[in-house]
Amino acid sequence: MVIINNFMKKILIPIFLFGSLMACDKKPDNQKVMIDEVMAIHDEVMPKMDEIMSLKSSLDSVSKVSPDSVKARELSSALEVADTKMMDWMSAYNPDLLKGKSNEEITKYYADEKAKISNVKDLTNKSIEDARAFLGK
Protein backbone atom coordinates (compact mmCIF):
# COMPACT_ATOMS: atom_id res chain seq x y z
CA MET A 1 0.00 0.00 0.00
CA VAL A 2 2.88 2.34 0.75
CA ILE A 3 4.35 1.66 -2.71
CA ILE A 4 1.07 2.55 -4.40
CA ASN A 5 0.71 5.78 -2.36
CA ASN A 6 4.29 6.76 -3.18
CA PHE A 7 3.70 5.94 -6.85
CA MET A 8 0.59 8.11 -6.88
CA LYS A 9 2.31 11.02 -5.15
CA LYS A 10 5.46 10.96 -7.24
CA ILE A 11 4.17 9.90 -10.65
CA LEU A 12 0.42 10.06 -11.15
CA ILE A 13 -0.29 13.40 -9.46
CA PRO A 14 2.40 15.31 -11.43
CA ILE A 15 1.21 13.67 -14.66
CA PHE A 16 -2.37 14.63 -13.88
CA LEU A 17 -1.39 18.21 -13.01
CA PHE A 18 0.74 18.56 -16.13
CA GLY A 19 -2.08 17.20 -18.28
CA SER A 20 -4.55 19.58 -16.67
CA LEU A 21 -2.30 22.56 -17.32
CA MET A 22 -1.75 21.55 -20.92
CA ALA A 23 -5.48 21.14 -21.48
CA CYS A 24 -6.07 24.70 -20.29
CA ASP A 25 -3.66 26.04 -22.89
CA LYS A 26 -5.18 24.26 -25.90
CA LYS A 27 -7.31 26.13 -28.36
CA PRO A 28 -10.63 24.56 -29.24
CA ASP A 29 -10.32 22.36 -32.33
CA ASN A 30 -12.46 24.64 -34.49
CA GLN A 31 -10.14 27.58 -33.75
CA LYS A 32 -7.09 25.56 -34.75
CA VAL A 33 -8.82 24.60 -37.99
CA MET A 34 -9.70 28.23 -38.66
CA ILE A 35 -6.14 29.38 -38.00
CA ASP A 36 -4.83 26.67 -40.31
CA GLU A 37 -7.30 27.71 -43.04
CA VAL A 38 -6.32 31.37 -42.81
CA MET A 39 -2.62 30.59 -42.87
CA ALA A 40 -3.02 28.11 -45.74
CA ILE A 41 -4.58 30.83 -47.89
CA HIS A 42 -1.83 33.26 -46.91
CA ASP A 43 0.83 30.65 -47.72
CA GLU A 44 -0.76 30.04 -51.11
CA VAL A 45 -0.88 33.73 -52.03
CA MET A 46 2.41 34.97 -50.59
CA PRO A 47 4.71 33.30 -53.15
CA LYS A 48 2.75 35.04 -55.91
CA MET A 49 4.02 38.44 -54.79
CA ASP A 50 7.26 37.89 -56.74
CA GLU A 51 5.27 37.11 -59.87
CA ILE A 52 3.21 40.24 -59.33
CA MET A 53 6.37 42.35 -59.26
CA SER A 54 7.73 40.64 -62.38
CA LEU A 55 4.48 41.11 -64.32
CA LYS A 56 4.22 44.70 -63.13
CA SER A 57 7.71 45.40 -64.43
CA SER A 58 6.84 43.84 -67.79
CA LEU A 59 3.63 45.85 -68.03
CA ASP A 60 5.42 49.07 -67.12
CA SER A 61 7.90 48.43 -69.95
CA VAL A 62 5.13 47.57 -72.42
CA SER A 63 3.12 50.64 -71.44
CA LYS A 64 5.94 52.88 -72.71
CA VAL A 65 5.88 51.49 -76.25
CA SER A 66 2.55 49.75 -76.78
CA PRO A 67 -0.52 51.20 -78.44
CA ASP A 68 -2.37 49.50 -75.56
CA SER A 69 -0.47 51.53 -72.98
CA VAL A 70 -3.66 52.50 -71.12
CA LYS A 71 -4.62 48.84 -70.70
CA ALA A 72 -1.07 47.96 -69.61
CA ARG A 73 -1.14 50.71 -66.96
CA GLU A 74 -4.55 49.54 -65.74
CA LEU A 75 -3.28 45.97 -65.37
CA SER A 76 -0.12 47.18 -63.66
CA SER A 77 -2.25 49.19 -61.27
CA ALA A 78 -4.41 46.14 -60.52
CA LEU A 79 -1.26 44.15 -59.67
CA GLU A 80 -0.12 46.96 -57.40
CA VAL A 81 -3.48 46.95 -55.62
CA ALA A 82 -3.23 43.18 -55.07
CA ASP A 83 0.27 43.55 -53.64
CA THR A 84 -0.80 46.42 -51.38
CA LYS A 85 -3.84 44.49 -50.13
CA MET A 86 -1.60 41.57 -49.19
CA MET A 87 0.84 43.82 -47.33
CA ASP A 88 -2.05 45.59 -45.58
CA TRP A 89 -3.58 42.27 -44.53
CA MET A 90 -0.28 40.99 -43.18
CA SER A 91 0.36 44.14 -41.15
CA ALA A 92 -3.18 44.14 -39.73
CA TYR A 93 -3.30 40.41 -38.92
CA ASN A 94 -2.58 40.20 -35.22
CA PRO A 95 -3.84 37.13 -33.36
CA ASP A 96 -2.13 38.42 -30.19
CA LEU A 97 -5.10 40.77 -29.83
CA LEU A 98 -7.24 37.73 -29.04
CA LYS A 99 -5.74 37.04 -25.62
CA GLY A 100 -8.51 37.09 -23.06
CA LYS A 101 -11.27 37.15 -25.69
CA SER A 102 -14.23 34.80 -25.68
CA ASN A 103 -14.42 31.81 -28.01
CA GLU A 104 -17.16 33.61 -29.94
CA GLU A 105 -14.97 36.69 -30.47
CA ILE A 106 -12.02 34.54 -31.52
CA THR A 107 -14.14 32.56 -33.97
CA LYS A 108 -15.49 35.81 -35.47
CA TYR A 109 -11.98 37.23 -35.79
CA TYR A 110 -10.72 34.21 -37.73
CA ALA A 111 -13.85 34.08 -39.90
CA ASP A 112 -13.31 37.75 -40.76
CA GLU A 113 -9.62 37.19 -41.45
CA LYS A 114 -10.40 34.21 -43.67
CA ALA A 115 -12.81 36.37 -45.69
CA LYS A 116 -10.23 39.15 -45.99
CA ILE A 117 -7.36 36.91 -47.09
CA SER A 118 -9.71 35.06 -49.46
CA ASN A 119 -10.52 38.41 -51.11
CA VAL A 120 -6.78 39.11 -51.39
CA LYS A 121 -6.33 35.68 -52.99
CA ASP A 122 -9.10 36.32 -55.53
CA LEU A 123 -7.76 39.79 -56.36
CA THR A 124 -4.21 38.42 -56.70
CA ASN A 125 -5.22 35.54 -58.95
CA LYS A 126 -7.39 37.74 -61.18
CA SER A 127 -4.77 40.45 -61.58
CA ILE A 128 -2.08 37.86 -62.42
CA GLU A 129 -4.36 36.05 -64.87
CA ASP A 130 -5.32 39.29 -66.62
CA ALA A 131 -1.71 40.46 -66.85
CA ARG A 132 -0.52 37.12 -68.21
CA ALA A 133 -3.27 37.12 -70.84
CA PHE A 134 -2.36 40.65 -71.92
CA LEU A 135 1.35 39.85 -72.11
CA GLY A 136 0.73 36.51 -73.82
CA LYS A 137 2.40 34.51 -71.03
pLDDT in tens, 26-58: 556 888 999 999 999 999 999 999 999 999 999
State the pLDDT at residue 63.
87
pLDDT at 66 over 90: no
Examine residue 108 and state whether it is found in any structural domain, yes or no.
yes
Examine residue 8 and state whether it is found in any structural domain, yes or no.
no
Examine residue 22 and state whether it is found in any structural domain, yes or no.
no
State the pLDDT at residue 67.
85
Examine residue 13 and state whether it is found in any structural domain, yes or no.
no
Number of domains present in the structure of the chain: 1
Q: Which amino acid is at 95?
A: P
**Whole-number Cα distances in Å, 133 to 17, 52, 55, 129:** 61, 14, 11, 6
Examine residue 12 and state whether it is found in any structural domain, yes or no.
no
Question: Which structural domain range is residue 85 located in?
Answer: 28-135
pTM of the complete model: 0.76
Q: How confident is the model at residue 3 (pLDDT cuts 50, 70, 90)?
A: low
Examine residue 79 and state whether it is found in any structural domain, yes or no.
yes
> What is residue 101's three-state secondary structure?
coil
